[in-house]
Amino acid sequence: MDNRFGEMQIFLAVAQGGSFAKAATALRLTPSAVSRAMARLEGRLGVQLVSRTTRALALTAEGEVYRARVAGLVAEIDEVERGFGSEAEAPRGPLRINASVPFGTQCLLPILPRFQHAYPAVTINLALSDTLVDLVEERADLAIRIGPLRDTGLKAKKLGRSRMAVVASPGYLQDRGVPMHPRDLAGHDCLQFSFRRSIDTWPFRGDGAVVQRPIEPAFLGNSGEVVRMMAVAGGGIARLGRFHVAADLAAGRLVEILGPFNPGDHEDIHALYVGHRRLASRIRAFLDFLDAQLVLPGAD
């Protein structure tokens, strides 16, 4: 293992203290360890850096030149490491976040200015996509995932959960009628997701059990936001998380239907991040911020 930096530190401590014993005390080493390190350094450089007598130790001319050159280098490396250490007190640097389009627009963006105000030295880089991304490959610090988690080896922090709802616009229901039973969906335009992990059935409660009803979509969208907007526009019936449609329900743009048949299922929402023994303070600060500030409409 290359230990040149450690040998440079020992040399500078010897030069400053004027003896191997004082350098050993300052660095919490034994005098013999200091002596061996100096011997290795001089042997590698091929010059004598210190002249030793029984009463004193002094730098040679080569030692003076070496000290002048390495002192700045060691100081610079120390400053770099202090910068990372001080991040624990003042989070800084880029914070790359990946989230789904619905969660990002409905839940994250409204509160992110508060985080920016609290941590002005952190630069947020937010990417919204309903496609699952690899955190390591995309160099993301943190991702928000909705629904079941895959075994990825990532650390997961649960942020909450949101109930599901079947919804449609008042205009659509006026034109096509209100389905009173899940079987009535066969005569309606249902809106579904086009990504691979989507499920072609919707669960409904009936006769004391939950039944998966197959859905024949009249429209496919590649994100939850696309499906929501199509429902608001009167394009059909959708099944979405309440956190996603809470504002539309409150404003009357969407209406919940088939409520008596709702099975009461939820979507869990997690923050995922690569687990390290010492988590960067900007990531820890954001996780703590979500704990304190995140509000999930329709959550339990």
Over residues 273-300, the pLDDT tens digits come to 876 656 788 889 999 999 999 888 765 5
- Domain 163-265, what fold? D-Maltodextrin-Binding Protein; domain 2 (3.40.190)
CATH architecture of 4-84: Orthogonal Bundle (1.10)
Mean residue pLDDT of the chain comes to 85
Does 122 have pLDDT greater than 90? Answer: yes
Question: What is the band of 1 on the pLDDT scale with cuts at 50, 70, 90?
Answer: very low
Q: Give the pLDDT band of residue 153 (cuts 50, 70, 90).
A: low
Write down the pTM of the prediction: 0.64
Find the largest Cα–Cα distance for the chain: 104
Q: What are phi and psi of 243, to 5 degrees?
A: -60, -30
> What pLDDT shows up at residue 4?
82
Give per-residue pLDDT as tens, 241-263.
998 999 999 999 999 999 999 99
Q: HSE on the CB side for 123, CA within 13 Å?
A: 2
* Ramachandran assignment for 140, one of left (phi > 0), alpha (psi -120 to 50 degrees), beta (any other): beta
Topology agreement, domain 4-84 and domain 93-161+268-293: no
pLDDT surpassing 90 at residue 77:
no
More confident call, 69 vs 221: 221
CB within 8 Å of 30: residues ≥ 6 apart: 24
Fold for 93-161+268-293, please state it: D-Maltodextrin-Binding Protein; domain 2 (3.40.190)
